[in-house]
């Protein structure tokens, strides 16, 4: 039986078209040192690059 990699399932979400979305890293602490522009852009989720997404999707056999 194929199992879902739970560590990957917690960090990424699948779009309706099957692409992976990720959070912007580095925004849990030391926020006062970061610019407002940098913090604003970090609130938006990013798409995972296609080359990186392929092995990650293999770890999610049943989607999310």
Question: Taking the chain (64 residues) in consecutive chunks of 10 residues, what is each chunk's mean pLDDT?
Answer: 93 94 94 96 95 94 86
Residue 10 included in any domain = yes
Q: Does this model's pTM top 0.85?
A: no
- For residue 10, give the CATH number of its domain: 4.10.410.60
Residue 12, judged by CB atoms within 10 A of its CB (0-12, 13-18, 19+), counts as buried
Other beta carbons within 10 angstroms of residue 20's beta carbon come to: 23
Nearest CA-CA partner of 48 in 27, 19, 25: 19
**What is the domain count for the chain?**
1
């Amino acid at each position: 039986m194929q199992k879902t990699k739970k560590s990957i399932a917690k960090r990424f979400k699948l779009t309706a078209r099957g692409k992976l979305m990720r959070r912007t890293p580095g925004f849990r602490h030391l926020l006062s040192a970061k610019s407002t522009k940098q913090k604003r852009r970090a609130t938006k989720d990013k798409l995972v690059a296609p080359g990186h997404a392929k092995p990650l999707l293999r770890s999610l056999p049943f989607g999310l």
